[in-house]
Structures are given as C-alpha cells and as structure tokens.
Amino acid sequence: MTSRRIKLLIPKDRAELIPLLFTIFLICLYVTFELCVILPAIHHNIFTDKEISHLIFGFYVIFNLIGNLYICMITDTSINTIICPVLLPSTIVNSISTRKTQQDIIYYHCNWHYCHSCEVNVPPRSQHCRTCKICILKRDHHCIFLGRCIGFRNIRYYMCFLVWTWIGLVYCNILHMDYTYELVGTFSWRVMISCLCPLIAWLFNFVDHFSLLLSCICSTSIILSLYVLFLIIQQSFLISNSQTWYEYDKDIHTYNTGKGLRFNLQLVFGKRWYLALLNPLISSQPLGDGMSFDMHRSETRDAQNTGTKYI
C-alpha cells in the first residue's frame, strides 16, 4: 500500500519531476519566509493574541494546502480502478444485432468507446493521456506542475489545492505589505518599484542585495496569486458548465444537464460540497461512479435516434 502511494506520488514522465519539485520548493520557501522573516519582523512578541491567531490561521492554510495536494497526488483517477471490458458482453450484442459495429453498440447502450492504446473499452468522458500512458476517468487535463492527470477522483482536491494556494498567497501579500510598512513607515513610489520590479530597483540602488531577494519573493507572490486566481476562474467556469477541458475545447455540452450549479458542484465536490473546502479529510464522494453520467435530454434523444457521436 505504502509503495503504491510512493509510486503514485512520482510522475509517470520523470521529466515532470522538475516542475513538481519546483512547486514543492516554492511552498517550502514561502512557509519558511513567512514564519522566519516576515512574522517575527511584524510582531516582535510571539505570545500576543494577534501573533497566535496569525500562526493558527497560517498553519490551517498550510494544512489544507499540503493535505489537498497530497491526496490529489496519491488518488488514482485512471481506469486502473475499474474493470474495463475488452469485448462487449454477448447478451448486449445479441439484443441489438441490427447495429453495424461493436463500437456503435457500446455507444448506443452506455456511451463507452474503445481506446486503441489501452486496448479496452473505456467509459464516457474518459480520455487517454499520452504522458500518463493510460485512460483517465472523466479526464479534465494533465497538470504539468503536479505531473499527473486531473480527473473524476481527484478534481475536488485539485480545486481545493488551488483555492487554498490562492488564499495562502493573498495572505502572504497582506503580510508583505505590513512588513514593508514596518520597514519604511510609509508607501512611496520607490517601495512600489521595489515590490513590483525588484531588479530595476536593485539596478538603481533603491535596494541592497538582501532587500532584492525579499523583493523578488514579494513580487513573485503577487504574480503567482494572480495566476492561481486565473486558474480558479477557468476551472470554476468549467465546473459550472459541467464540462471538462476536452469537452470545452470540442464544444461538447452533452453532460450539462441543466440541473443547476448546486448539482454541478456535487458532481465535483460531492454531496457535502459545502464542507469539502474546509478540510481535505472530510469525506464527500463526488456524485456518480465515473463510468456513467447524466446527459442533456436532447443529446440523449439524438443518441437514441441517430446513433453514434464519439467523444
């Protein structure tokens, strides 16, 4: 069990260890920087209520961020977790012998399709990932920063990881502003340049070497928080439309049942979707089994009347 988890932690493509290690390095860098440099500089007495509340909130953010990242990485969301038929059961073949091919029959009955790489029939919304070299259940996309695919079983943890990363970065930005105010007493255009363009500030001798390093970390957290916010907005848009990245790209709306945002949230975060963000250890299974999905009414009618539309 432990060796399997370690195996899941390591990206299938070894080259992706570099962005993964870089992501972990950034998390460690910011945690160390805030705890050892920023917080002691802002709050000189560690035993004040304010300092303790900062520490509690900081550790809660870190717990959620690391917890969601870890579970996202060790969760196997591939077709390895289910049994995929190589051939169609004979009862189904016999029951509709008028259909032309086995693939048509699979689509007609349950919307499955054949993966030539995995050499099995795979459920609807599963897509083959060339990097992971396997089909992924309800594949959303392959995340190069985590070195794995995001799909049916781990998208909840991926989304929560993004949200807590963003909360952590915004919190860092607020602390950095407090820190800057503590250092210079006021905001000026020099401070703004130092925060936003540390290299330029260093070239014009506005800051020394150590301040350059601090400024780089501060400006990077601003850029990263904007980038992560952009990812959250993108992903939220897809969740609200009940689409994966592939379906969005191909303009497929088959699985947007029109049952509302609450239903779409339950598909990703589970029945207790409102608790999922609070703690990664809270159990909240996503709706469904990753193999069968509700379809839009008109799409269901089309499938019954005209037959094949592969995804």
Beta-bridge mates of residue 150? 141
Interaction of residue 236 with Zn ion, rule CB under 5 A: no
Amino acid 222 reads: I
Phi, psi of 87 (to 5 degrees): -120, 155
Query: Which structure tokens are listed for 141?
Result: 């996309």
Stretches 126-134, 237-245, 265-273, 294-302: which one binds Zn ion (CB under 5 A)? 126-134
Q: Does 135 bind Zn ion (CB under 5 A)?
A: yes
- Nearest-angstrom CA–CA distance, 228 and 233: 9
Interatomic CA distance for residues 62 and 70, integer angstroms: 12
Member of 101, 117, 234, 292 binding Zn ion (CB under 5 A): 117
Cβ-based nearer residue to Zn ion, 54 or 148 = 148
Distance CA 262, CA 242 (A): 11
Using the rule CB under 5 A, give the single segment among 56-64, 90-98, 110-118, 265-273 that binds Zn ion: 110-118
Q: Which two tokens stand for residue 230?
A: 């952009």
State the binding string over 147-166 for Zn ion (x if CB under 5 A, else -).
--x-----------------
Binding of Zn ion by 271 (CB under 5 A): no
| Structure token pair of residue 202 | 């260093």
Closest to Zn ion by CB, 143 or 214: 143
Residue 142 is a binding residue for Zn ion (CB under 5 A): yes
The residue range among 104-112, 144-152, 224-232, 244-252 that interacts with Zn ion, by the rule CB under 5 A, is 144-152
The residue from 42, 61, 65, 129 that contacts Zn ion (CB under 5 A) is: 129
Binding of Zn ion by 72 (CB under 5 A): no
Q: Which residues pair with 153 in a beta bridge?
A: none
Binding interface with Zn ion (CB under 5 A): 115, 117-118, 128-129, 131-132, 135, 142, 149
